[in-house]
Amino acid sequence: MTVVGPFGLSVRDQALEADVKAGLAAVEEGLVEATKSGVPFITEAAQHLVRAGGKRFRPLLVMLASQFGDPYAPGVVPSAVVVELTHLATLYHDDVMDEAEVRRGVPSANVRWGNSVAVLTGDFLFAQASHILADLGPEAVRIQAEAFERLVTGQILETAGPQEGDDPVTHYLDVIAGKTGSLIAVAGRLGATMAGADEGVVDVLTQYGERIGTAFQLADDVLDIASDSHESGKTPGTDLREGIATLPVLHLRARAARDGAPEDLALCALLDGDLTDDARHAEALAGLRAHPALEEARRDTVRYADEARRLLAPLPDCAAKEALSSLCDSVVHRAG
């Protein structure tokens, strides 16, 4: 058994391991090439997050999905580059919207160069992705356009918040499906499509991608509360400090509204206060870690990962199917 990629996927088959490693290496080269510009400053800004690294979860899924057809087909690696470029572009924009200061262990682009440069760099990456897509054909362009519409819709829904009468938890899961799940679904879809897989296989891997993508984000929500910085690679409670209501917080608020328990109401009041104060932040983090809402969020993560695994049932038994199932375990383990 070999661990492949920063995400820590366990691969038992040597041929699959070689294919995935070679594919991811080619994607890295493609990302560096796609972020070059005749203007050195643009190259520097565009490669800022590429060179900072990342899990490359989406390219990994492209590589695994391609195994259900011809993994050496010429469109496989470029489609993985497209998906990752799109993801990177959204990070530049997200950091401006969230006023983030750090991304992947380095100063965010908006801190280093200002909001305007960060936004325009994200736009540059979208443009580069479009150039590559044009060579992959009209079907690939349509797939990407539909996903991008969902991604932006998810971002708008998050910004607008739930409307009167909406269940906040359901609204949040819809946001995650759009913001995160849609692009990871495209990774599965493009990988299989570019490899020439059967239509039924493409559909399975698309649905799988959306479920595992949602589980991946929910695991991040749990990690933000439950892990220490050594385990997660980031400061715990970052979302809390920034006032972002992730799934554990939403489950807490739902319980408080439903049951009216004094301790739940008190914790909600603490969360609604100023958590830039270190003492208040530590108190809120400790309160959430001890609250059943965190375990409820873990169960939701497991549920989506289990749904993803069940969707794989119609696929032929092979090393790639086993690896995709293992990916579900990896996601759940992150939230454990």
What is the 3 state secondary structure string of 160-216? HCCCCCCCHHHHHHHHHHHHHHHHHHHHHHHHHHHCCCCHHHHHHHHHHHHHHHHHH
The length of the chain in residues reads: 336
Q: Are residues 4 and 67 in contact, defined by beta-carbon separation less than 8 angstroms?
A: no
C-alpha dist (Å) from residue 202 to 62, 65, 312, 327, 335: 11, 8, 11, 18, 28
**Helix/strand/coil (H/E/C) assignment for every residue in 76-136:** HHHHHHHHHHHHHHHHHHHHHHHCCCEECCEECHHHHHCHHHHHHHHHHHHHHHHHHHHHH
pLDDT at position 229 is 53
Tokens 């992705």 sit on residue:
129
3-state helix, strand, coil in the chain (%, to 5): 75, 5, 25
- Quick one: DSSP state of residue 274? -
Mean pLDDT, the chain, rounded, equals 89
What per-residue confidence (pLDDT) applies to 242? Answer: 79
Burial of residue 67 (CB within 10 Å: 0-12, 13-18, 19+) is buried
> What pLDDT is recorded for position 197?
97
- Please give the pLDDT value at position 232: 46
What is d(CA 32, CA 17) in angstroms, rounded to the nearest whole number? 23
Predicted pLDDT at 2: 54
CB of 53 closer than 8 Å to CB of 6: yes
The pTM for the full model equals 0.90
* Contact status, residue 176 vs residue 221, Cβ threshold 8 Å: no
* Coil/strand/helix, residue 49: coil
Q: Which of 333, 269, 268 is nearest to 298 (CA)?
A: 333
Q: CATH fold of 2-335, please?
A: Farnesyl Diphosphate Synthase (1.10.600)
Which pLDDT belongs to residue 239?
A: 83
Q: Are 46 and 37 in contact (CB under 8 A)?
A: yes
Q: What is the mean pLDDT of each run of 10 residues along the chain (336 residues)?
A: 53 85 96 94 88 88 97 97 94 75 73 83 93 95 94 91 92 95 96 97 98 94 79 67 89 95 95 89 94 96 97 96 93 76
User: What's the pLDDT at 134?
Assistant: 95
Single-letter code of the amino acid located at 110:
N
